[in-house]
Structure 1
Amino acid sequence: MTATHSRRRFDVATRTLSFESEGTQCRGRLYLPDRPATPPVVVCAPDIAAEQTFGYPAYAERFAQAGYAAFVFDYRGFGESDDADPAGWFGGETHHLVDPAAQVADLQAAIDRVARLDGERRRVALWGYGLGGGHAIRVAANRRVDTVVAVAPFVDGRAFARARSPRYLARATCAGVRDRLADAVGRSNTVPVVGGRDEFGLLPRPTGDAYLDCVPRTSDWRNRTPARSLLALLRYRPLADAADVSSPTLLLAADADDIAPPDAVTAAADRIDRSTYVRLPVGHVDPLGRAFEASVAHQLAFLDDALGD
């Protein structure tokens, strides 16, 4: 697959869409090219604790300029979407909760919302970054989609754990268990998504610092998540579903990725029959920044091959 991409650029319009996922209202932004009339739609799933504004609009705009519709949304509890109702009588904090099962349901609901947009059936591509890439693989293993693009996909919580120090794992487990206990009585124990210099956080530095650079200055996103998010990440393993994916799938790995280790992405590519594997000499967040052009070129070439008439 070539990474060169030359075609005319379409003008782009945007509109806000909402949809319901398991009783919670989620919201996102649809990017539309001025033609064709019913373009394929790329449904975009964000990374760990991220919102739709964290660099993903740049991809959505490029997809729309290339003739594809693109829908970027917020998971429940993030950005413009509503918080989920607490579970049980004394449910704890659900704002900024990283809950893979709930987020997979949100992605499923987003697909349902746009697959027949304006009454017209559209071909659907799943696009996910980081944790969203893992969600895309899990969804594609359980329902038919036309194609999948997974950028620096988080596919194996065990690989994430192996890249962490024993001290990190001990602190993550203790914090997560405390939050589980607090959640049972309607309270919450939160941790930073990105910790300070001597502070524990979900994402390690310097990757975490690059992650924070993606947060728009106008955003009211807060750098906290319920600590049970850590336990969910360590247990999450879309790699186990990879062999059930039948759609053409592009997996774009980052060589210096300490969130989604490239060896785990390689293992996922090996299990997917119709996979295309690209490995870039960058870190986890770089495809949102300095490696954007190289990354988007591979993705557009792949989408043209997979969705071209």
Structure 2
Amino acid sequence: MSSKNSERSQPSDIYFNSGDLKCSAYLYRPDQQLPSPIIIMAHGLGGTRKMRLTAFAERFVAAGYACLVFDYRHFGDSEGQPRQLLDINRQLEDWKAAIAYARQLSGIDHSKIILWGSSFSGGHVLATAAQDSNIRAVISQCPFTDGLSSSLVMNPVTSLKLTALALRDRIGAVLGNEPVMVPLSATPGNTALMNAADAHSGSLELTQYDPDYKNYVAARFALDIIRYYPGRQAKKIKAPVLYCVCETDSVAPSKATLRYANQTPEKEIKRYHYGHFEIYIGDAFEHVVNDQINFLKRTVAI
């Protein structure tokens, strides 16, 4: 492990091992001497830690919580070739590696590990917590919970184009070819993983915080998304879960999310009139982050 900055008031730029590669992360510590709870955080579909996750982390740290904010392998500042490879199983492995790293940190209360995910990672934290009974609490923000529901919001013609690209990419990978890339977001009518009316403009709002952001991933991912149902595991989670649900969500339909949320043994459900991408910025951010801090104070005391 390495650290470039040991000042407690500023995040340290660290890495931890996931498999045989390194995930880059920011480690924030609150200005206190007692062992701190820690919140582990990562972004959604193709996102990086710089895309407003630091804004959430800064608010959590001010409330007394340490934060570990990481980039998945193949994205951001983390290792991994080919770049922009979005692999569900590898990302879930990265979550487990981040938890293992947090559990060996000094100055951390290892009995108080919290998972925070948004959009695609909002599903990852549900799947991860369902398999780890020692997680203390979970925050799942505008979460992806149901592959079929998310796929059905896509125009059928666009879905067919994505499938063709995905097959070409998957076959090419077997033959050792360079990945076939597909845009993460685009305007309506254009081929992308997200092309709802608010998807591209909303993505651009966030990408300004990471000038190195790449608006594409290996197309093979389109074959996997429809088979991923992290919401089905919510009923196995022992920790309290806060669901922050965007009622007008154009990417992760709220109807499916609410169905799974209501099956969660210990849950709190907050419903918002914000869109999927609004929740990271401005008044919507203030509203949601305050709800999240209040949830943390009630469930995981400092």
Distance across 2 between alignment mates of 1:120 and 1:66: 15
What letter corresponds to residue 183 of structure 2 in structure 1? P
**Do residues 209 (structure 1) and 201 (structure 2) align?**
yes
TM-score by length of 2: 0.92
Deviations 1:23-59 (A, max 9, x none): 1110100111111431100000211000000111000
Deviations 1:66-122 (A, max 9, x none): 0000111000001110015xxxxxxxxx31121111101101101111123127542
Deviations 1:251-295 (A, max 9, x none): 111011111111111012111100111110011111111310010
Q: 1:43: which partner in 2?
A: 40
Within 5 A, what are the aligned runs for 1:167-246?
167-187=157-177, 188-196=179-187, 199-205=190-196, 206-216=198-208, 219-246=211-238
What letter corresponds to residue 19 of structure 1 in structure 2? F
Unaligned runs of 5+ in 1: 1-10, 85-93
Within 5 A, what are the aligned runs for 1:108-123?
108-118=96-106, 120-122=108-110, 123=112
* Higher RCO (C-alpha 8 Å, min separation 6): 1
Q: Structure 1 residue 139: deviation in Å? A: 0.4
Residue 96 (structure 1) aligned to one of 63, 79, 84 = 84
What letter corresponds to residue 115 of structure 1 in structure 2? R
What letter corresponds to residue 68 of structure 2 in structure 1? F
The CA RMSD measured in Å over matched residues stands at: 1.6
Does the CA-based 8 Å contact 1:53-1:216 persist in structure 2? no
Distance across 2 between alignment mates of 1:100 and 1:218: 23
Does the CA-based 8 Å contact 1:13-1:34 persist in structure 2? no
SS of equivalent to 2:269: strand
**Do residues 131 (structure 1) and 128 (structure 2) align?**
no
SS of equivalent to 1:29: strand
Distance across 2 between alignment mates of 1:258 and 1:157: 14
How many equivalent pairs are there? 290
Unaligned runs of 5+ in 2: 1-7
Q: Percent identity?
A: 29
Q: Structure 1 residue 195: deviation in Å? A: 2.5
Distance across 1 between alignment mates of 2:66 and 2:107: 15
**Do residues 263 (structure 1) and 255 (structure 2) align?**
yes
Deviation beyond 4 Å, 4+ runs, structure 1 = none
Cα distance change, pair 218–267 in 1 and its aligned pair in 2 (3 A)? closer
**Do residues 142 (structure 1) and 131 (structure 2) align?**
yes
**Do residues 52 (structure 1) and 49 (structure 2) align?**
yes
Q: 1:252: which partner in 2?
A: 244
Does the CA-based 8 Å contact 2:52-2:209 persist in structure 1? no
SS of equivalent to 2:72: coil
Distance across 1 between alignment mates of 2:271 and 2:33: 32
SS of equivalent to 1:33: coil
Q: Structure 1 residue 158: deviation in Å? A: 0.7
Q: 2:285: which partner in 1?
A: 292
SS of equivalent to 1:13: coil
Q: Structure 1 residue 174: deviation in Å? A: 1.2
What letter corresponds to residue 97 of structure 1 in structure 2? L
Q: 1:156: which partner in 2?
A: 146
Per mean C-alpha deviation after superposition, the further-off stretch among 230-239 and 49-58 is: 230-239
Distance across 2 between alignment mates of 1:177 and 1:47: 23
**Do residues 28 (structure 1) and 17 (structure 2) align?**
no
Q: Structure 1 residue 13: deviation in Å? A: 2.3
Q: 1:91: which partner in 2?
A: none
Q: 1:301: which partner in 2?
A: 294
Q: 2:3: which partner in 1?
A: none
TM-score by length of 1: 0.90
Distance across 1 between alignment mates of 2:119 and 2:33: 30
SS of equivalent to 2:131: coil
